């Protein structure tokens, strides 16, 4: 720990119930908390309680700032959709000047543009989806091919899974009735299945209509969360690839709805949703 107890300030934010401890880390090049400390802070009984810790760092390549995230098990992820919306409001709260009505952010998924909308929501250009098995990564298809509706036996059930990387890896499974899926049984089995060498975020999805998808997520390194922004993008992409939805849809998560559009001109995913400050404190 590189700070005296009771001196490191944090702000707690949530995006659709996916909650984070946010730290202004601009005075140091590396996160001020180790992976173990981040996991301890996330503990819901002995810590602040959160799905992850997100650090706002100075940019390295001329963007407005840089983002790094630890899941609540202490593993580092490349990107977080709900978290980056929270970070947009946090940067505004810190009085940071930006680019136009938002910011340009360096993430593990590349340079992303975020916009604070007049109604308080945040729109994020999440970049393009990566679909080749090698890019996920998964061994469910040959390295240079997509894993779309690929067969995978998990927990004694033969599932059909579509894999999408949004900076981080996602497996999407379409089911007839979401209510019947035992998330706590199958989520951990998918996360550590041998076909996903970097583990995987898993989403069970029901198609309500071509513009309305309902989803439950089991996140890599965080377990069941109320929402996953990168996952919502992955679900829309998987739905389009399987001929199940339009390129623009509302993705309904346990924490609320989020709007996702797969833009044909740029091949980028656009995510629009809320972010809210909950409280602040000192660690």
Ligand X SMILES: N[C@@H](CCC[C@H](N)C(=O)O)C(=O)O
Positions in the binding site for ligand X (CB under 6 A): 18, 71, 77, 80-83, 168, 201, 219-222, 225, 228-231
79 versus 133: smaller Cβ distance to ligand X: 79
Is 18 one of the annotated binding-site residues?
Answer: yes
- 220 among annotated binding-site residues: yes
Task: Give min distance, CB of 45 to ligand X, in A.
Answer: 20
Q: Would you say 69 or 141 has its CB closer to ligand X? A: 69
Query: Which residues form the catalytic set?
Result: 80, 228
Q: Three-class SS string for the chain?
A: CCCCCCCCEEEEEEECCEEEEEEECCCCCCCCCCHHHHHHHHCCCCCCCCCEEEEEECCCCCCCEEEEEEECCCCEECCCHHHHHHHHHHHHHCCCCCECCEEEEEECCEEEEEEECCCCCEEEECCCCECEHHHCCCCCCCCCCECCCEEEEECCEEEEEEEEECCCEEEEEECCCHHHCCHHHHHHHHHCCCCCCCCCEEEEEEEEECCEEEEEEEECCCEEECCCHHHHHHHHHHHHHCCCCCCEEEEEECCEEEEEEECCCCCCEEEEECCEEEEEEEC
| Shortest reach from residue 1's CB to ligand X, in Å | 24
Cβ at position 219, least distance to ligand X in Å:
4
Tell whether 25 is in a known binding site: no
Residue closer to ligand X, measured from CB, 107 or 180: 107
Q: Which residues are annotated as a binding site for substrate?
A: 18, 71, 81-82, 168, 201, 219-220, 229-230
């Amino acid at each position: 720990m590189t700070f005296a107890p009771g001196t490191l300030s944090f702000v707690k934010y949530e995006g659709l119930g996916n909650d984070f401890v946010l730290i202004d880390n601009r005075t140091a090049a590396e996160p001020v908390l180790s992976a173990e400390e981040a996991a301890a802070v996330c503990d819901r009984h002995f810590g602040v309680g959160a799905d992850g810790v997100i650090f706002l760092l100075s940019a390295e390549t001329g963007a407005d700032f840089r983002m790094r995230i630890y899941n609540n098990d202490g593993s580092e992820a490349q990107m977080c959709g709900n978290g980056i919306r929270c970070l947009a409001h946090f940067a505004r709260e810190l009085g940071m000047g930006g680019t136009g009505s938002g910011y340009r952010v360096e993430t593990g998924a590349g340079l992303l543009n975020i916009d604070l909308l007049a109604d308080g929501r945040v729109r994020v250009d999440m970049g393009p989806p990566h679909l080749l098995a090698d890019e996920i990564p998964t061994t469910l298809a040959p390295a240079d091919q997509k894993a779309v509706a690929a067969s995978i036996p998990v927990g004694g059930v033969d599932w059909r899974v579509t894999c999408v990387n949004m900076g981080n890896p996602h497996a999407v499974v379409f089911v007839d009735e979401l209510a019947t899926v035992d998330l706590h049984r199958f989520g951990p089995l998918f996360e550590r299945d041998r076909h996903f060498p970097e583990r995987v975020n898993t989403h069970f999805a029901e198609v309500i209509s071509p513009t309305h998808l309902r989803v439950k997520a089991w996140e890599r390194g965080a377990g069941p969360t109320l929402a996953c922004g990168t996952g919502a993008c992955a679900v829309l992409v998987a739905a389009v690839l399987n001929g199940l939805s339009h390129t623009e849809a509302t993705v309904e998560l346990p924490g609320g709805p989020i709007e996702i559009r797969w833009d044909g001109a740029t091949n980028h995913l656009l995510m629009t949703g809320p972010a809210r400050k909950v409280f602040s404190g000192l660690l």
